[in-house]
Amino acid sequence: MSRDTRPDYPPEYDEPDASEWEGSRLRDICPVYGIGPAADCLRAIDKYGGDGGTVSVSLPNGDRLIVPDDLSKIRALTDDEPVKAWIIHGIAWDGSDWEFNEEVAAANHVPAALKRFADALDEWRAESDNREQ
């Protein structure tokens, strides 16, 4: 079920004008991973990324489109859609409350943030193993 049931997707921006946006665009993630369109790229990272890290998007209007829940909304956006931040997030899947959440402004910083997620998860697992022994 979608987190946001508003019928106004894709969003319309009052300010800043989307045509004047100088930051990241939705299409920017595609060349980083060689997969397009952007929704397919984000789904592939979620499904095949390895350690369970997910990449979602934060839009300039404050909306956060979370993969995989909001993929239909991401598909409704144009490739030229402004992106305020790329959200890298995930959990340990071990029953604990460990979670990771980091935002990066540029799509080319996503792989490094996913690596930080994997490193933090490995560290958490090592600490958990040490506590159990």
Check residues 14 and 102 and name the one with the higher pLDDT: 102
Question: How do residues 75-114 score in pLDDT, each as one tens digit?
Answer: 999 999 999 999 999 998 888 889 999 999 999 999 999 9
Overall average pLDDT of the 27-36 stretch: 95
What percent of the chain clears pLDDT 70, i.e. is strictly above it? 85
Judged against a pLDDT cut of 90, whether residue 50 lies above it is answered with no
For 63-101, b/e burial (b = at least 16 CB within 10 A) is bebbbeebbebbeebeeebbbbbbbbbbbbeeeeebebe
Predicted TM-score of the model (pTM): 0.82
Domain assignments of the chain as residue spans, ordered by start:
18-132
Alpha carbons within 13 A on the beta-carbon side of 60: 19
How close are the terminal C-alpha atoms of the chain, in Å? 40
Plot region of 98 (φ>0 → left; ψ -120 to 50 → alpha; else → beta) = beta
Q: What is the pLDDT of residue 13?
A: 56
Q: What is the pLDDT of residue 10?
A: 62
What percent of the chain clears pLDDT 90, i.e. is strictly above it? 69
In whole angstroms, how far apart are CA 101 and each of 16, 54, 74, 121, 131? 26, 10, 20, 12, 24
Q: What is the pLDDT of residue 1?
A: 44
